[in-house]
């Protein structure tokens, strides 16, 4: 089993190289992610609006159909008026006609209201769809840009990733977890060499006995001040020579 500190330092070298490659892609990955998020958000707004519009259409159609049915009823009631035998019957039918006609007016007003609401929403929907299309075009463009930039580095990236994985496989998951945690907390620098008796991360002096232990011991030790993993200067120099 190889010295885990040496391996971690090597791992970090590859991580830095991979990060540099990522940086060469510039803002593109972020822009692509941002545009994709915007598209998703817009699509859900469009879906919601469409559901709403459909509801207004259905309600408007239902009211129109109701009004038509009532009109038919009025027509037939009007015919019945010719056949009435007494005033009471005449009054009853006249009342029903009046009620139905009022109802028809209400239904038609209701249908109109829903139709104008639907038209209003339809115009918002068109705006959203237009926006969606323009972002989609933008995203397509940025994505192909990113693809061509990535393609240039693809082989190098694969190679580095492969080497990195080979090193990572020699380390325990716990060790990698510690490394990852410090790396994300300390701006990518988890393992630092001791330089002139001080931590290479925070420049605080390291106790001489710790420095000695690091030179012969395989155990992972941390800077008491910044919490980074320390590596002896000579071992770091060796790693720097190979990678």
Work out how close the CB of 3 gets to Zn ion at its nearest, in angstroms, rounded to a whole number: 20
Report the first-to-last Cα separation within the chain, whole angstroms. 19
Residue 216's alpha-carbon distances to 52, 179, 209, in angstroms, are 72, 21, 11
Residues 6+ apart with CB under 8 A from 219: 213
Work out how close the CB of 227 gets to Zn ion at its nearest, in angstroms, rounded to a whole number: 7
DSSP-based three-state secondary structure for 205: strand
Max alpha carbon distance in the chain (Å)? 121
Q: Which CB sits closer to Zn ion, 104 or 206?
A: 206
- Whether 133 and 42 have beta carbons less than 8 Å apart is answered as no
Binding positions for Zn ion, 167-206, rule CB under 5 A: 199, 201-202
Work out how close the CB of 226 gets to Zn ion at its nearest, in angstroms, rounded to a whole number: 3
Region near Zn ion per CB under 5 A, out of 73-81, 117-125, 175-183, 216-224: 216-224
Q: Which CB sits closer to Zn ion, 7 or 199?
A: 199
Work out how close the CB of 230 gets to Zn ion at its nearest, in angstroms, rounded to a whole number: 8
Q: Which CB sits closer to Zn ion, 108 or 202?
A: 202
- Judged by the rule CB under 5 A, the positions of this chain that interact with Zn ion are 199, 201-202, 223, 225-226
């Amino acid at each position: 089993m190889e010295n885990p500190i040496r391996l971690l330092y090597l791992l970090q070298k590859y991580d830095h190289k991979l990060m540099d490659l990522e940086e060469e892609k510039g803002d593109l990955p972020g822009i692509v992610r941002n545009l994709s998020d915007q598209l998703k958000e817009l699509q859900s707004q469009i879906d919601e609006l469409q559901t709403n519009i459909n509801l207004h259409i259905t309600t408007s159609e239902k009211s129109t159909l109701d009004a038509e049915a009532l009109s038919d009823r009025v027509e037939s009631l009007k015919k019945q008026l010719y056949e009435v035998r007494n005033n009471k019957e005449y009054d009853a039918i006249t009342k029903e006609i009046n009620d139905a006609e009022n109802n028809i007016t209400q239904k038609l007003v209701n249908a109109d209201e829903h139709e104008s609401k639907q038209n209003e929403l339809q115009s918002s929907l068109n705006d959203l769809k237009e926006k969606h299309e323009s972002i989609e075009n933008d995203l397509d463009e940025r994505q192909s840009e990113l693809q061509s930039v990535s393609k240039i580095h693809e082989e190098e990236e694969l190679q580095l990733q492969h080497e990195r994985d080979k090193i990572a496989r020699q380390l325990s998951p716990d060790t990698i977890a510690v490394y990852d945690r410090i790396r994300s907390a300390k701006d990518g620098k988890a393992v630092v060499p001791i330089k002139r008796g001080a931590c290479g991360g925070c420049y605080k002096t390291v106790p001489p006995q710790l420095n000695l232990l690091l030179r012969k011991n395989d155990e992972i030790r941390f800077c008491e001040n910044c919490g980074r993993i320390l590596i002896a200067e000579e071992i770091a120099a060796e790693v720097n020579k190979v990678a």
